[in-house]
Amino acid sequence: MFSVILWLTYVNTTLSLTVTAPVRIADLGGWTDTWFAGHGAVCHLAVAPGIEVRLEAWPASDEPRLVVDAHDFGERHELPDAGVFKRRHALLAAAIGEASTAPDRAYHLHVRSGVPPGASTGSSAAVVVAVLAAFDAMAGEPLSPASLARRAHEVEVQSLGLESGVQDQIAAAYGGANFIEMPRYPETLVEPLLLGAATREALDQRLLLVYLGRGHDSSAVHRQVIASLVAGGGQRHALEGLRALAWQGRAALLAGDLAAYGRALSANCDQQAELHPSLVSDVASRVIGVARAHGATGWKVNGAGGDGGSLTVLCGVGPEARALLARQVEAEVPGVRALPVTLSATGVRVRIT
C-alpha cells in the first residue's frame, strides 16, 4: 500500500524524500568477509549519525535533469557534466547509474555524512544504500534490506571493480547489531542480534568513535596483505582468529557481557596487526594508550585498518566516562576528533518530507 500511495503522489506533484542510513563500527571479524578469505564471520554495530540523502523529483522541463549537491565537499554538479562528477565521485555516480529513474522526471539529490569522509566506517557503502533506497522509493519499488545490501555491493564490485567485503552494505541496510556468516563469498546469512535494553543503553553511553585525523588511505598495505593471503602466507592463521572473535563478540553481546565484548574488540585489534603491523597505525596506537590509561575496556581499529580512518573505543562505566575520555584523547593526540555515537535502532529509513 505504501508504494502505491507514493507512486500516485509522485506522478501528480513534486515529491521530496529523506533517507537515512547508519554506518558501521566495531567490526569483529573484518577482513574475513572478502573474496580472498573464502568464508567468514563478522559481528558489527550499525550506528548514528550516518548518511542522510534527500531526493526531490518533479516533472522534467528544460532545467538539468539531475543536480547533485555533495555537501561534505561543498560541491554542486549538474549532470551531465562531461565526466567531472564521475572523476570526483565515482561511487556516487555509479549508484545513480544503477538507480531507478524515470525519463520524464528531473531530480535534485542532496548527500550529507555524519562522519568524516574516509573514516573507515563503511560510509561509502551507506551512501550507495541510501541513494538506491531513495530512487527505488521514488519509483514506488522499495527493496528488502537483503536485496538492497546485495544490490549496493554489486555497484561497488561489478560496476566499479572495487575491492569490497559484504558487511558494510548489510550494516547500512539492516541497522542495529548484526552477526554475519559468509559460507562462500558473496553469500551471507544475516542474524540481527536482539540485545537487551540494558545492553543497548550501556552501548549508547559508552561507545566513542575516534577519527584519526585523516581519511583512510592504505591501499598499498592492503595489496600486500591480499597478495600474501592469496599465496597462502602465514597470515592466514590471523583470519581464523578473526572469525573466532566474531563469534565471541556475538556471544558477549547476547549475554550483555560488555567486559567480554571489550576484550574481544581489543583482541581483534591485535589480530589485525598480525595481518600486517601497519594496519594499526602509530596514531591509533597512541589513542589506544590514552584510552587504556583512562579506563576504557576495549578498542578496535575500524574496517581494514591502516593510515587514517578511525577507532572504536568502549569507554569505562559511569555517566562522565565517555566525555572525559573524549577530552583526553583530543588533548593528548593532536589532530584526532572524538565523536560519540549511538546504536542505530533501524537500518535504511525512507520518509516523505
* pLDDT for the residue numbered 234: 66
Q: What is the CATH number of the domain that holds 135?
A: 3.30.230.120
Whether this model's pTM surpasses 0.85: yes
The neighbour count for residue 320, using CB atoms within 10 Å, is: 10
The angle subtended at Cα 239 by Cα 22 and Cα 286, nearest 5°, is: 65
- What SS3 class is residue 219? helix
* pLDDT for the residue numbered 111: 97
Q: What are all long-range contacts of 182-185, with beta carbons under 8 Å and residues at least 24 apart? A: 182/32, 182/33, 182/37, 182/39, 182/40, 182/41, 182/42, 183/39, 184/38, 184/39, 185/33, 185/34, 185/35, 185/37, 185/38, 185/39, 185/40
* pLDDT for the residue numbered 236: 81
* pLDDT for the residue numbered 9: 44
Domain range for 50: 2-352
The angle subtended at Cα 42 by Cα 37 and Cα 45, nearest 5°, is: 145
* pLDDT for the residue numbered 11: 47
* pLDDT for the residue numbered 8: 35
Domain count, the chain: 1
Which of these, 314, 302, 308, lies nearest to 253 by C-alpha position?
314
Q: What is the mean pLDDT of each run of 10 residues along the chain (353 residues)?
A: 36 83 98 93 98 94 83 90 84 92 91 93 96 94 92 92 90 98 97 98 98 77 78 80 98 98 98 91 97 97 92 95 97 96 96 89
Mark out the alpha helices in the chain (DSSP H runs): 2-12, 84-88, 90-98, 123-138, 145-154, 167-174, 197-206, 219-230, 236-255, 258-275, 282-293, 321-332
